[in-house]
Amino acid sequence: MSIELVVEVYRLTETLPNTEKYDLTSQMRRAAVSIPANIAEGAARNTKKEFVNYLHIAKGSLSELDTHVEISRRLGYLSDPQLVQLDELLERTDSMLSGLVRFERASHASRITSHEEQKRT
């Protein structure tokens, strides 16, 4: 999902004016790439707590990208069909990240509860 978002951002930023090459284009691409990179880095960490922290960082990068998209929209750089597709990918990625955070927190909480119950017996 997040890789699909990166590919779409790269494709769409090709259409931005050359004057934005080192500004919006660069910022949008970096924010987009940061999302799956942080998910991967967090997944490779030793604890669920660290993973959740990296998921939050990925959500921050997603918010940053969303802001860049809104700026591009207001400047008239992206067409309505492009924006509809990009907004859909942003929403789906946000839902995926939120779901992962909920899952990891719930599994962490159930492990703690299970561990506490084992101590009592």
* pLDDT at residue 67 greater than cutoff 90: yes
Question: Whole-number mean pLDDT of the chain?
Answer: 90
Question: For the chain, what is the domain count?
Answer: 1
Sequence letter at residue 46: N
Please say whether the beta carbons of 63 and 91 come within 8 A: no
- Could you tell me the CATH number of the domain that includes residue 31? 1.20.1440.60
- Which range marks the domain in which residue 98 is found? 2-120
pLDDT tier at 12, thresholds 50, 70, 90: very high
Q: How many angstroms separate the CA atoms of 13 and 48, rounded?
A: 34
Provide the pLDDT for residue 105: 85
pLDDT tier at 121, thresholds 50, 70, 90: low
Please say whether the beta carbons of 55 and 41 come within 8 A: no
Q: How many angstroms separate the CA atoms of 102 and 105, rounded?
A: 5
